[in-house]
Every structure is written in structure tokens, then in C-alpha cells.
Structure 1
């Protein structure tokens, strides 16, 4: 089938490349000529494992192309996907749908024949209705259908998620659109991936409800972790017991510094705004957003406390800047609030991230970035693991202990065990156990200072 992807960002690139890998002919359209030229050279503007290889293979075989020509691409297409950004609108937090509606207008001008317009972007309930109105105003009497087909791709594993999805949600209004969407995703039938056909509005809400629920689950285990520290329980054991219940499941029960990224923060806010507009408030989600914001600054205080209670003039090493591993995405990353709070307290921050430092340099011109975690840790009064990149799971702790100013490891992802770290002389602070809190570290640090003075 001939498919067009409007937007060559994260969702558009992954979706376009994977659909081409299924055998479809896909044109990815973007207004940014420099981005299109970059893609034509075979370079990816984002980091996503496996994407560059798949894109290169399908470009070489003629199934995937990149262009700025929307009109020429849309003519004769079986389906046109809208995969543009829907950031939070400045001032009120609603999803900014201007890019979606502009794409709809331009698609309408170019439509020929019975084409399916598919909204892939994350949009509030009712957006598909408005897209249909926009197209109909321009193409009165033309045969077309508007479909909602939200994406459920996790950054860092998006290619795998697309090819082996839990479900494919398709909101349709007519049988013609249903048949076309079934044919587009037919290659996945071999994997027995279920296609869930719903109404268009239900499909739009499924996306927001899914992200909001997962964000709420992350926030829930973070609060349970805080309680564990107060009652001398271990959150890792609690999470294991919770996740063993099939009604709950183990995913997203990993405590940390709070959620970030391109989806959870903006989508939870957008859902709250939609609910308020319809006089049906979602108070659990409102609370989730508030707790998450407070938590990020609280993690900075945890680091300061672990480093002795005062970091003015001290060097703090940050391992991991992106909001999660296997991506270069810095949007709404917890590191942003945490580093700002550390700097506000007078700390000098040195950092290392395998993929995120190019974007991070634009945020922090006064942070020192290094080529390895060991360079970042030199003369540091505390090391903090903020993102659970695999290479941080087997650090040379003996080497680190020799180069730091103070052997303190604040593990905000619970990558290590206390016993393992203490063998190399580190005081250890993780999340969700009283014996691993900053207060415990402060007691150890004070005892160490008394011992040094006595000697």
C-alpha cells in the first residue's frame, strides 16, 4: 500500500520505517528541509536502537523515502498518517493542536480519491471530529475517512514495540476505513497482535488513559518507597509482592526520582484539562502531577543530605541525564529539576550520559560534561545515578572510590545493593529502605569524621 507519514519526528520516523519494513511504500514528509536532507543521508535526528538500520535497509530497497513535498506525496495515497507534535500549549496546559489542524488543512488540499486520514499524534477526545470537519470544508463531496490510531511506543524500545505490540487500537467510523487499517497491519497477524477496533473518541481516550494510569503507577510506588523508609521495610520486596499479583503486574513498579519524558508529563496535564472542560475532574491524575513535581526537588535534597548537608563549593557527579535509558531525550527529565536545585545550593555539577549530553549542553552551559563516568566522578563529594543505563550497572567501584573526594553513592534507581557498594568503602543511599536513606549516610559520614579526628 502507498502510505504517507506527515511528520518525521520520533513517532513518524519509527512508524514510517516499520511500516516500510512490512513491505508498504512509505513517504515521510517534513517541512524542515534540513531534517529531510539529514534523513536522506542516512543519519537519524534521534537516537532509537535499531531505527537507523531499518531505515537504511528500506531506503536502499526503495520502500522508504523522505521529502518536503506534501502535495505530491498525498496524491494517490491509500492512507495519510498525521504524526506531528502536540506539545503542551503555553499558558494553559492544553494540548497544542495547531500542527495537527494545519496538517489536516494541507492534506485536504491534496487529497484525491478515497483516502484514509489517520491521526497518529496523541490528541484529546474529539480531535478526530474536528479533523474531519476541516477536511470536509475543503473537499466537499470527496470520499475520505478519518481514523484514530494512537501509538504506544516506549522510547528505547520503540521498534520492538511496533513490531510486537500488546494491542493496536484503531478508532473507525466506517467499514471502508476498517478494511484499509486491517490491510495496513496485516503483517502483524503472524505475531497474533490483536487489533482493537473502537469508536474514534474511545481510541483517543485510550491513549491518554493509558499514559495517565502508568504515570499514576510510578507515583504510587514512589510514595510506597517513602513509606518503606519510615517503617523499615524494603520497597524492592514490596514491589515484588505487588507485581506478583496478576491484577497489578510488575511493570512500572520501580521507584525513582519521578517520571519525565515527552509523554507522561504533557499527556497527564492534557487529560486533566480535557476532564475539567467537561466538568468531570480526574483528581487522582491531578494529584499524581503534583506529587511528581515535588519529588524531583526532594531528590536533590536527598543528594545534598547524603553529601553532608552542605554542597556549596562541592563537586557532585551525575550519572545519567536522559529521562530513561536508550534514548537521547531530555524532555522533562528529572535531571533538569535536580541539577537546578543542586546548583541553587551552590554545588558544581559534573555529568556523564551515553547519549544525552548534546541536548544537555544546551540546557546547562555551566555544567561540566565528561567522556566517561570516571572523569565525571573525579574529586566528587557524591555520585548520583539518575538514569539506569546498562553501563552504570557494572561500574568499577574500586576505581571510583580512589578518585572521589568523598565515597558516597546516591542510587536513585536502586541499581546496586547496599552490601555490594559497602564492600568498596562507599556510603550508600538508595530509595525505599531505612538503612539506605541519607540520614543513615549522614550518621556514617559523621562517624567517619570523628574517627579521622581521633587518629
Structure 2
């Protein structure tokens, strides 16, 4: 099938490349010429493992092309996917300006029977507004509007698309359903579940899923705090409760709080939707508030490890992105942690395998960026592990200790073995595990 994707950001570029991999002919459109030129030359605008090879393979096969404007080139598309940004406004609601603009721009070129598909994360009822825009611009045209939320984890987006837990499509007519079935036939043929709902239900599923996962993370972080007070081990607690099939093991890793482009934004947008219609969501409200507090306060672990003050101390921060295998700094816990350390008078050295360039505009100008973990640890009074990149799990502890001024590690992701770290003579602090000082 011929498909168009408007937006070559994280969702749009990954989805477009994966649709092409399924055998469809895909036109990916973005209004940023520099971004499109970079993609055409093989430079991806985001860090996502395997994406550059996937794009190159499908460009070479002629299934994936790029453009910088919405024009008649989309007129033969069976479906046009809207995959533009919906950032939070100042009041926490989703900004839909880009969605509306994309719909208005594509409307003059749509063919009869085409399906406009919202893949952007949008508030419940946005599909209705898209229908209104299309009816205003092209009142004579019979088109369908669908909702097809994405469930892509940064760092594992390609496998999530090609081997999904489920595909959710919200439709209001048989035409939209038939087109969606044809688009996803290569995946459903391999057993991928395709769930059809009404459009508003599909929009709700996306927000409900992310808000529930955020709630799991918020809960296990509170359990971690309690574990530290009573001498229990949150990692073992997570295994013990995660083996219950009603709970599940995923999203039970304690840490410095959740961040990224989805959980904070989507939870807040859902809460605002509830407020707008007079519904109460006290659990979600508490999750959002608790996560904000956690990101602001987790840096105090470093204060405690250094005796209550970091003024004049050098702190090495390992990991800046909100999670491993991405360069995304949106709502990353490292932002609050580094800001606190800077405010308390520490000198900060930092290293991240992918996110340092993206971090620079968000962190204090005084931060020194390093080429590897050991350069980051040079002369440090403490090392804080903030993102669980795999390379931090296999650090050469003897080498690390040799370059540090004081052997202190604050592991905010529990990536290291306490026994191994302490055997090397480190003072070690982690999250939700019994404290044992060397």
C-alpha cells in the first residue's frame, strides 16, 4: 500500500521505516529541510539502535522516500499518518497546534476513501476535531479518521513495532477498519494481536497505559524508600511480587524517578482531561506529585554519602539520558540531580554514551563533559550512576577507584553488586537496598 507519514521525529521516522520494512511504499514528510537532508545522507535525528540501517535498507529498496512539504505527492496514499509532536503546554495540556496544522495541510490532497490516522499522542476526542477540520476544508470528500497510538519504547522501538504486544486502532467506519487490517496484515499474519475499538477508546488506551506504568514505577520507588528504613531489599521485593502473574515483573525497577517524552507528559495530560470533565483521579495526581518530588530530592543521597555537604567536592555523574539506548533528555532525572548538585556547590563531571550534546542546553554551563567513565571519575569525591547503560554494569572497579579522590559510589539504578563494590573498598549506596559501608 501507499502510505504517507507526516512528521519525521521519533514516532514518525521509526513508524515510516517499519511500514516500509513491512513492504509498503512510504513517503515520510517533515517541514525541517535540514532534518530531511540529514536523514537522506544517513544521519538520524535521534539515537535509536538499528534505525540508521533500517532507513538505509528501505531507501535503497525504493520503499521509503522523504519530502519537506505536504503536496499532491500524498494524493495516492491509502492512509496518511499524523506523527507530529504534542508537547505539554504551560498548563500541562497537550499542544495540538501541530496536529491541526498537519490535517489542514493534507486535506486538499486527500483522495476519496483515504484514512487520516492519528499516531501522535492526543487527548480523548481529538479525532472528532480532526473530522471537523476535514469537513471544513473538504466538505465534499468522503474520508475516514482513525486513532492508532504508538507503544514504542525508546531504545527498543524497532522490535516493539515489528513484534508488538498489541496493535490498537480506533475506528468509526468499515473503511478505516479495512485499511488498517491491510496495513498491519504482515504483522497479524505472524500472530500480532490487532485490537479494534471506537476512536475515543483508542485515544484513552494510550494515556491509560502510560499512566498505569508510571504508577507502577511510582509505587516501587516508594517501596524502595521504605526498604531503606526497614532493612529490606527492593530488588528482591520486585522479583517476589513480579512473579505474581497479576502484577508482572516489568516496570518494577526502583530508581531516581521516571522521565522521558511520554510518562510525565501523558500522565499530566490525562489528569487535565479528568479535571476538565469534573472527574477525580487522586491516585494519578499523587503519582505525578511524588515523581516530581523524587527527582528533586534523590540528589540528597549524594549529600548523605559525603557527610551532608558537597560544597567544593567533585561529583562524577554517569548517565544523563532518561533511560539507556536513547539520547532523549526530556524530563530526565539527571537534570534535577545535576541542578541540585550545582546549587549545593559541587563541581560536576558527566559522561553519557549518547546524550551529552542533548544535555548541554539543559544542564548548568559549568558541567565538564568527559569521554568515558574513568575520565568522569578523575579526581571525583563520589560517582553517581543515574542511567543504567550496560557499560556501567561492567566497570573496572579497581581502575575507577585508582582515579578517584574518595572511593564513594551512589548507585541510583542498582546496576552494581554491593558485595563486589564493597570488596574493592568503596563506600556504596544504592536505592532500596540495605546500606553497608566498607
Partner SS, residue 180 of structure 1: helix
Q: Give 3-state SS (helix, strand or coil) of 1:328's partner.
A: coil
1:219 maps to 2:218: yes
State the shift of 1:73 in Å. Answer: 2.6
State the distance in 2 between where 1:333 and 1:433 align.
23
Deviation at residue 114 of structure 1 after TM alignment = 1.5
Gaps of 5+ in 2: none
Alignment correspondent of 2:28: 28
Q: 1:190 and 1:207 mapped to 2: Cα distance?
A: 24
Deviation (angstroms), 1:402: 1.0
Match of 2:247 in 1: 248
Q: Deviations over 1:136-172 (max 9, x none)?
A: 1111121100000000000000000000000000000
| Cα deviations by residue, 1:218-262 (Å, 9 ceiling, x for unpaired) | 000000011111111111111111100000000000000000000
Give the drift of 1:303: 0.9
* Contact 1:315 1:380 (C-alpha < 8 Å) held by counterparts: yes
Residue aligning to 2:206: 207
TM alignment of 1:17-416, pairs within 5 A: 17-90=17-90, 92-364=91-363, 365-416=365-416
Q: Is 1:427 matched with 2:436? A: no
C-alpha RMSD over aligned residues: 0.9
Equivalent-residue separation in structure 2 for 1:29 and 1:165 (angstroms)? 25
Alpha-carbon separation, structure 2, partners of 1:379 and 1:68: 49
Larger CA deviation: 361-370 vs 272-281: 361-370
Deviation at 1:363, TM superposition (A): 2.2
Tell me the distance in 2 between the aligned counterparts of 1:73 and 1:277: 39
| CA apart distance, 1:199 | 0.2
- Note the C-alpha offset of 1:189: 1.9
Distance across 1 between alignment mates of 2:49 and 2:306: 36
State the 1:309 CA deviation: 1.4
Q: Is the 8 A contact 1:242 1:250 kept in 2?
A: yes
Partners in 1 of 2:132 and 2:184 — Cα distance?
A: 26
1:2 is aligned to 2
Q: Distance in 1 between matches of 2:132 and 2:71?
A: 20
What is the CA distance between 1:434 and its match in structure 2?
A: 3.2
Distance across 2 between alignment mates of 1:335 and 1:69: 37
Could you tell me how far apart the structure 1 residues matched to 2:38 and 2:3 are? Answer: 21
- 2:14 aligns to what? 14
Whole-angstrom CA distance in 2 between matches of 1:251 and 1:259: 14
Q: Deviation of residue 282 (structure 1)?
A: 1.2
* TM-score (ref. length: structure 2): 0.99
Give the drift of 1:414.
Answer: 0.5
Q: SS state of the match for residue 215, structure 1?
A: helix
Partner of 1:449: none
Shift of 1:112: 2.2
Distance 2:269 2:198 in 1: 20
CA distance in 1, matches of 2:32, 2:156: 26
Q: What CA distance in whole angstroms lies between the structure 2 residues aligned with 1:69 and 1:113?
A: 21
What's the CA shift for 1:360?
1.1
How many Å apart are 1:72 and its aligned residue?
2.4
Does the Cα contact within 8 Å between 1:219 and 1:288 map onto a contact in 2? yes
User: 2:139 and 2:393 mapped to 1: Cα distance?
Assistant: 59
User: 1:308: how far off?
Assistant: 2.2
Q: Equivalent residue of 1:409, what SS?
A: strand
Asked if structure 1 preserves the Cα contact closer than 8 Å seen for 2:113 and 2:175, the reply is: no
